[in-house]
Amino acid sequence: MRIAMVKYNAGNTRSVLCSLNRLGYEAEVTDDPKLLRSADKVIFPGVGEASTAMAYLREKGLDEVLIHLEQPFLGVCLGMQLMCSFSEEHNTTTLGIFDVPVRKFILPQEYKVPHMGWNTLSRSEDPFFSHLEGESWCYFVHSYYVEVGPSTIATTIYGPLSFTAVLHKDNFYGCQFHPEKSAEVGATLLKTFVEEL
């Protein structure tokens, strides 16, 4: 099993690697198109800023590479947001894998931004969740959110707003939360992605 993690100068790569290691998997961090195309699974991590990340992807030609990958592909947090059509973070055109925009949180004063902490998922019957039972608590840290759309397979509520927690279209998955920081639920989802999708 060859797992490639997209290198694009975004954070949280090490924490995802450590989480995979705990599950018994190794992953290679790379921005080499050949290695990304030949991997069995690709993970697109991210903690950072949309326009800077997209500039790096375009500079390396990875924007065209990633959208044409055919193996299971998982975006995390900023990684998921970059898979959408557009981000309000510096008005950035993103990869367009999912035809849905990324919006900045505008919430009543009592709700802090960034949204940070544990929230539950309201999820569909997608195979990604096949090993989850009962209430699923996941850890979020983000100031922007993905609107609910046709590819949404799980949602989360923060204040008055329901937003996308997980996206799925064809071989592409995206999690707004951090599975590598989401304890047993996150470990279960990573294991399902690597072993079964």
Contact call for residues 179 and 186 (beta carbons, < 8 A): yes
Cα 101 from Cα 147, distance rounded (Å): 6
To the query of whether residue 77 is one of the catalytic residues in this protein, the response is yes
What angle is formed at CA 26 by the lines to CA 39 and CA 49, rounded to 5 degrees?
A: 75
Supply the Cα-derived Rg of the chain in whole angstroms: 15
Contact call for residues 19 and 194 (beta carbons, < 8 A): no
To the query of whether residue 68 is one of the catalytic residues in this protein, the response is no
Residue of 18, 178, 184, 195 marked catalytic: 178
Is the dihedral angle over the CA atoms 27, 142, 48, 175 positive or is it negative? Answer: positive
Residue of 89, 142, 168, 180 marked catalytic: 180
Distance of CA 48 to the CA centre of its chain: 12
Residue of 18, 77, 84, 133 marked catalytic: 77
To the query of whether residue 138 is one of the catalytic residues in this protein, the response is no
Positions marked active-site: 77, 178, 180
